[in-house]
Amino acid sequence: MSNFSRQWIVTSALLDKFPRVLHGFGTKYFQEKELNHFCQSKNLKPITLKQLHSDHIHLLEKKPDSLLEGDALVTYLPGFVLTIKTADCLPVLIVDPINQIVAAVHCGWRGTAARLLEKVINFLIKIFGTQPENLYCAFGPCISQNCYEVGEEVRKSFNYAGFSLNENLFKPNQDRPNHFFLDLRKANRDLLLASGIEAKKIDEIVICPHCHQDFLSRRRDGHRCGRLLNFIGLLYN
Ligand SMILES: [Zn+2]
């Protein structure tokens, strides 16, 4: 991995090709102060959520009066920067270039077991008539399978949610019975592919924050480690 040395954000080459879409996955140097500064300079308003590890989706149709709660934000309005906070969890940014819609989704293990990403795609289909094959998706930095040991209760939640518990998804830890290494990227990629997203339209920035010092990891740094800021928005025409 290259040395980011205080670089603020990394971006997806797949999403970079849309001139009206602004997006990025923040390093630990890109905190709220930098986000606010960045948004002000472009006359945009950052929107954050009180994230709950839920499957709740917000369609943003006006400036919110209070802090929204949930784990996915969708908008067709220019001028808002949808922001998802992570520290190990997977941030997913989505563009529908036909309908000019963007979405930001927080995919931790609970949201993934709740099939949140699939619900976001279904939401776009239902509300906007989105065709899944037209969507572009980018996965940001997320804890790698080797760094992400989980217990049997997590595996059971995925089983209950209809995931197939193969050894690629939950690799058994040979040294610890009933402990597994979860591939959170794969779980979410599989949800997208099953929803009709084309594989070539899923870009993955494969950085493990647990391994990389320029990012924040709850498993490495503890619950109070702060959060990485991941964002997407539509610019004014
Ligand atoms: Zn790692």
Instruction: For residue 211, report the distance from its CA to the centre of ligand 1, in Å.
Output: 4
Residue 3 has what pLDDT? 55
How does pLDDT run across 39-53, given as a tens digit for each residue? Answer: 999 999 999 999 999
Distance CA 50, CA 225 (A): 17
Higher pLDDT, 3 or 118: 118
Cα separations (Å) of 121 from 15, 72, 105, 157, 190? 17, 11, 11, 21, 13
Higher pLDDT, 214 or 221: 214
Residue 171 has what pLDDT? 97
Q: Is residue 228 part of a domain?
A: yes
φ/ψ (deg, to 5) at 61? -120, -5
Instruction: For residue 76, report the distance from its CA to the centre of ligand 1, in Å.
Output: 35
> Structural domain of residue 70, as residue ranges?
9-143+197-234
- Nearest to 132, CA basis, from 103, 158, 164, 169: 103
Task: Give the tokens for residue 17.
Answer: 């090709």
Task: Give the tokens for residue 181.
Answer: 């290494």
Instruction: For residue 175, report the distance from its CA to the centre of ligand 1, in Å.
Output: 18
Distance CA 74, CA 59 (A): 5
Q: Is residue 150 part of a domain?
A: no
Instruction: For residue 63, report the distance from its CA to the centre of ligand 1, in Å.
Output: 37
- Mean pLDDT in residue range 90-99: 98
Instruction: For residue 137, report the distance from its CA to the centre of ligand 1, in Å.
Output: 22
Cα separations (Å) of 76 from 73, 94, 130, 164, 235? 11, 12, 12, 34, 10
Percentage of the residues of the chain whose pLDDT score is greater than 70: 98
- Mean pLDDT in residue range 118-134: 98
Q: Is residue 114 part of a domain?
A: yes
Q: What is the 3-state secondary structure (H, E, C) of 121-136?
A: HHHHHHHHCCCHHHCE
The reply to whether the predicted model has a pTM over 0.85 is yes
Q: Is residue 191 part of a domain?
A: no
- Mean pLDDT in residue range 51-60: 95
Residue 4 has what pLDDT? 59
Instruction: For residue 167, report the distance from its CA to the centre of ligand 1, in Å.
Output: 19
How does pLDDT run across 162-191, given as a tens digit for each residue? Answer: 999 999 999 999 999 999 999 999 999 999
Instruction: For residue 80, report the distance from its CA to the centre of ligand 1, in Å.
Output: 32
Instruction: For residue 19, report the distance from its CA to the centre of ligand 1, in Å.
Output: 33
Domain count, the chain: 1
pLDDT score of 93 more than 70: yes
Q: Residues with beta carbon < 5 A to ion ligand 1?
A: 144, 147, 208, 210-211
pLDDT score of 60 more than 90: yes
Q: How would you classify the pairing of strands 228-234 and 21-26?
A: antiparallel
pLDDT score of 87 more than 90: yes
Q: For residues 138-172, b (16+ Cβ closer than 10 Å) or e, as one string?
A: bbbbbbbbebbebeeebbebbeeeebeeeeebbbe
CATH assignment at residue 223: 3.60.140.10
Instruction: For residue 18, report the distance from its CA to the centre of ligand 1, in Å.
Output: 30
Q: Grade residue 110 by pLDDT with cuts at 50, 70 and 90.
A: very high
Q: Grade residue 1 by pLDDT with cuts at 50, 70 and 90.
A: very low
Question: Which runs of consecutive H residues, i.e. helices, occur in the chain?
Answer: 13-16, 32-41, 109-113, 116-128, 152-160, 184-194, 218-221
Instruction: For residue 220, report the distance from its CA to the centre of ligand 1, in Å.
Output: 9
pLDDT score of 65 more than 70: yes
Q: Is residue 184 part of a domain?
A: no
Instruction: For residue 191, report the distance from its CA to the centre of ligand 1, in Å.
Output: 23
Percentage of the residues of the chain whose pLDDT score is greater than 90: 94
Q: Is residue 46 part of a domain?
A: yes
Q: Is residue 165 part of a domain?
A: no
